[in-house]
Amino acid sequence: MASRNSNRWLVGLVAGLTFGSLSAQTPAPAPLRLTLADAVRLASGEVPVVALATLRDAEADARVRQARAALLPSLSLGGAWMNRTFNSQSLGITFPPNAPFQFPLLIGPFNNYDARLNASQTLFDWSSAARVRAARTQADGSRAERGVTVEASALSAATAYLRAARAQAVVAARQADSAIAAELVGLALAQKTAGVSAAIDVTRARTQLVTAEGLLLVARNQLDRGRIDVTRALGIDPATPLVLTDTLAATLGVADVPAQPDSAVAAALANRPELRAELARAGAARQTGAAIRAERLPRLVVAGDYGVNGLTVPGAIATRDLTLAVSVPILDGFRREARLAEQDAVVRESEVRERDLRQQIAADVDGALLDLRSAQAQQVVAAERLRLADDELAQSRERFKAGVVGNIEVIDAQTNLIRARDSDIDARFAGATARLSLARAAGVARTLH
């Protein structure tokens, strides 16, 4: 039994060493260093939602070519072989009963060979031409819709990046809090050893340290979740290690937006893809209505075919026909008028949405500018509060070292510093978020950096 246990131990040791050797030989994937501008760039062109929008653009362009096909030549080549019999009387071929020659009732069987080239070309069809223009306008609308998708994807990635950057700042703050708490524990122990501090001061300091370490664990978990959110926004493997190189600085989330409110609104009206998409929808509805009205006009088509026909292949002879056809629609049960009424309603509906969207764009820009100014003011207040809290902690610590007061004053000052750090992070995060909102309102989220 001892020998068997020894062998099992040896096998386990060898397996462990082998696995450890293989693990050591497999290099860990290099972390992806990512700036906010990198995240926005990736989200604007390499994520599934943008790829799907690009495919919808290709579908819209294909529909333009389909509509154009009605105006282009049509060419086909065909051949047929037929063996048949038929009743001559069914063709109206009859002879009197006393005629010297009687035509047989059953004719055939015989073969017929036919090979033919058919071609047609529309010479005039204003309705089809209008449908081509409507399809082109719809394709423009599809491209504008892709712009909406790109803007939303860029904004989503930027927002996820900001949240992860905020979580990263919180982790740094909690690490600093833990370091201060550990330092205060050491100070309380030294004061107790010197006989100038009670044991309760050590207990308070240790409680504060445990609390800080617990908050640090929560902050690290939030940072890991934030990194996963960034990978999902970018459409990459969630297991990809990320290094966020940007911090919550005053320049994070800046975009190409004019500083003046009127100029910002004008730029937003020119850049917002939602407005371009709505204008394209209205234009497509108008072009579709024009195509329906053009259905009342004559349609002119030329067609012809050329081929060989005969009872045998060697005996086949060339035949042809040429056709010039004109068709003029007169009445279709008033279906055309109903379709026109539908398109007119679509146009009016789009005009209502356009007016509302223009007002919404102006409101978005004004609101984002208000939020940005408020966030900038909050950052000034939060920075001053952080400076004062830091001074308060330094002064209370000196008083505790001098034995003037217990460490309850130090604990209160440390709590105030934690709150001041959180307020400073929140203010910087609010400022970056306001800059993102302004970029979205102006329709330039793709330029965020």
Minimal CA–CA distance to 404: which of 197, 190, 194?
Answer: 197
Structural domain containing residue 416: 29-84+124-298+334-447
Q: Is residue 309 part of a domain?
A: no
User: Does residue 17 lie in a domain region?
Assistant: no
Quick check: is 98 in a domain? Answer: no
CA dist., res. 309 & res. 320, Å (int): 10
Whether residue 24 is contained in a domain is answered as no
Query: Does residue 310 belong to any structural domain of this protein?
Result: no
* Tally of structural domains, the chain: 1
Domain at 152, CATH number: 1.20.1600.10
Asked if residue 43 belongs to a domain, the reply is: yes
Give the pLDDT confidence score for residue 16 in this predicted structure: 46
pLDDT in tens, 208-241: 889 888 999 999 999 999 999 999 988 888 888 8
Phi, psi of 6 (to 5 degrees): -65, -40
Determine, yes or no, domain membership for 322: no
DSSP string, 158-194: HHHHHHHHHHHHHHHHHHHHHHHHHHHHHHHHHHHHT
- pLDDT, tens digit, 9 for 90 and up, residues 163-183: 999 999 999 999 998 888 888
354-390 pLDDT per residue, tens: 999 999 999 999 999 999 999 999 999 999 999 999 9
Whole-angstrom distance, CA of residue 309 vs CA of residue 82: 11
Mean pLDDT of 65-76: 91
pTM of the full predicted structure? 0.80
Q: Is the dihedral of CA 241, 247, 253, 255 positive or negative?
A: negative
Does some domain include residue 93? no
Distance (Å, rounded) from C-alpha 121 to C-alpha 104?
44
